[in-house]
Amino acid sequence: MSESKKRKQHYKLSEIATEPKLLKTETKSNKFTLYGLLLAVFAFLLYSATISHEFVLDDGLVTSINTYVKKGMGGLWDIFSHAYRAGATITTNSDYVYRPLSVMMFAMEWNFFPDNPKVHHIINVLFYAISIYFVFKLLLKLLGDNNLPVIIITCLLFTVHPLHTEVVSNIKSRDEIMCFLFSVLTIIFVLRASENKPWSLPLACISFLLSLLSKEGAVITLAIIPLTLYFFNKGNFIKPTLFLALVFVGWFILRKSIIGNPVYDINSNDNQIVGLALGQRWATSFYVLWYYLKLSIWPWPLSWDYSFSHIKNYSWKELMPIFSLILHLGLFVFAIAKLKSRSIYSFCILAYIVSMALYSNLVLVIGTLMGERFTYQASLWFCLGVVMLIYSLLKHKDIDLHKNKKVIFYSAMGLISCIYAYITFQRTADWKDNFTLFSKDVLNAPNSFRTHQALGDESLQKFMKLYKNPSDSIKYIQLAEKHHSISSSISKNFSNQVGLGNALLIQNKYAEALPLFLSAQKFGDGNVIKERIRTTYYRHGISLARDSNNLEKAEELLVKAYSMDSTQVELMSDLGMVYGLKRNFYQALYYFNKAYEKKPNDPNIIANLANTYLFIGNKTKADELFSKIPK
């Protein structure tokens, strides 16, 4: 066979369906750059509405409340030399995570555009669009230009897939975008290295390092590389894999030197399987793997959170974990059986499984049970497999598809893409701000304790901003009570107990608020909860004395408040008033004198103390005090 004929030996669509063996392909892809650029522009336009959005969820931890980020360029070294989100002004439980690249980007953006979420959103959308361009370049390099329609449709499906809305719309998820982008570049450079292109392997190593510095999940690239080189007949995979492994070792040493060996402490509120027996843990994890597949096929409804009991704890006595186990095991066995023939379906299945393995909670229990962002890289191989599968169902014995079957194929993929794009467009609007997102997702994940808790917290924040205008603010305090109550009924924790208690306290429902604050002590007995309990005792006591003249109960509650904090002047004075109304004048004198010591110039305290001396017949002392009242 002549050299020119060899160069024309491309991987044909018909061969994908009838002979799923991956043939070596060669293509000069530069002339198809326009298609990649058009897909990238489309991706940017699809998500352009997010540019006007605010900070949501944990965006602030890597932007507006991160002291290192707010230093701008001056904070870059602090970010690089500390754990992820170390600069946040609140506790984040991320000491075991090292992801400096995206946070350093935020610092540089903040340096020129401080406290401007629009800029961060623009960069997110831009890099997502760039990623789409390089996905096109990667698939073109793998499949060849004879398969251009399949490549374009796969890229289009990947671009519009609604599971990516969290990644693009959530500023914090820049780590996912950059990790994926540099992983794709790593594969492209390794493929170029297999063609003996100069500097390709060093560039692959640099890309892989940047991917690891974006997010630890980049480690799966070490498995994707040999799979890609083997299945697409791109030469020996040992050399590039070893080089990348050395990069991984270097990154691991760097990471360890910076964050050491922190305790990997996962809270059951973040990942409910932490406290489960191994059998239940695996059953629940396999159900989640099925859930990922289901959302990959039909991505609706979507939620920022999938906590208990939106996903309940499963056992092997239930059908869905067993079904998921059989399904995934069957796919894996099929992929292994087709390994030797280099079937593209085998590649897509193995690449998908490898991409999801780290987030499956089977190998390692991670900080979250489920998140849409975890499907980001896996969805590329899912989309490729789906396009191939739909084509195979319409296979034809000839090299070119029959005209009618082409129409069916393009129509089917066009319809799926339109549906996905519509869902994506609708879903991005939900990410406008916290209140919008939380309000939508209590409907999308109505059984999650966390979606209701988040809406309750955000409603309290709304109330505090508008409390001076009761007609506008009352609905928010009612929402806070409602959703913290629902959250508490699903799974009690410190946050929803305190949140519900606060909502009730604001509405002067003291008898209902107190048990919730006391309950919260079981989860965390800090200064905040002690202050809430003291405040409830105090305000309830004052209310009983003032509104119902229940002086006995008022005394009991105010004494409890005083026992928790004996420094509050108002509490001392009010205790004196209650004892005075009970005609226990000597106890009243005790507390009025305490208040007088703290505020010797307060006219109300002086007058109350003087009147109490009058009641016990000490007119001389009373006159002395009356003379000290400022005129």
At 517-569, the pLDDT tens digits run: 999 998 877 788 999 999 999 999 999 999 999 999 999 999 999 999 999 99
Q: Quick check: 580 and 593 in contact, CB under 8 A?
A: no
Residue 481 has pLDDT above 60, yes or no: yes
Counting residues of the chain whose pLDDT is more than 70, the rounded percentage is 94
| Spatial distance between the Cα atoms of 87 and 147, rounded to a whole number of angstroms | 48
Residue 591 lies in a domain: yes
pLDDT given at position 30? 67
Map tokens 């009356």 to a residue. Answer: 626
- Mean pLDDT of all residues in 245-263: 95
- Amino acid (1-letter code) at residue 57: L
Residue 464 lies in a domain: yes
Q: What is the CATH number of the domain that holds 536?
A: 1.25.40.10
**Phi–psi pair at 88, nearest 5 degrees:** -65, 145
Of the two residues 523 and 306, the one the predictor is more confident about is 306
Residue 22 has pLDDT above 50, yes or no: no
Residue 445 lies in a domain: yes
Residue 239 has pLDDT above 80, yes or no: yes
Q: Which of 227, 259, 291 lies at the terminal end of a domain, its last residue?
A: 259
Which pLDDT band holds residue 395 (cuts at 50, 70, 90)?
Answer: low
Q: Quick check: 278 and 286 in contact, CB under 8 A?
A: no
Per the structure, the complete domain to which residue 189 belongs is given by 172-259
- Mean pLDDT of all residues in 562-586: 95
Residue 202 lies in a domain: yes
The model's pTM is 0.91
Q: Which of 235, 259, 283 lies at the terminal end of a domain, its last residue?
A: 259
- Mean pLDDT of all residues in 396-415: 72
Q: What is the pLDDT of residues 453-474, one digit of tens each?
A: 999 999 999 999 987 787 788 9
- Mean pLDDT of all residues in 207-233: 96
Residue 508 lies in a domain: yes
Nearest residue to 154 (alpha-carbon basis) of 405, 399, 391, 422: 391
Q: Which of 259, 285, 306 lies at the terminal end of a domain, its last residue?
A: 259
| Pairs from 515-524 (Cβ < 8 Å, separation ≥ 24) | 516/488, 519/492, 520/494, 523/492, 523/493, 523/494, 523/497, 524/494
Helix then strand then coil, % of the chain, to nearest 5: 70, 0, 30
Which pLDDT band holds residue 1 (cuts at 50, 70, 90)?
Answer: very low
Residue 373 lies in a domain: no
SS (H, E, C) 441-490: HHHHCCCCHHHHHHHHHHHHHHHHHHCCCHHHHHHHHHHHHHHHHHHHHH
Residue 437 has pLDDT above 80, yes or no: yes
What tokens does 372 get? Answer: 């849409």
- Mean pLDDT of all residues in 77-87: 96
What is the number of structural domains in the chain?
A: 2
Residue 297 lies in a domain: no
Counting residues of the chain whose pLDDT is more than 90, the rounded percentage is 83
Nearest residue to 374 (alpha-carbon basis) of 602, 631, 173, 139: 173
What tokens does 310 get? Answer: 């939106």
Residue 609 lies in a domain: no
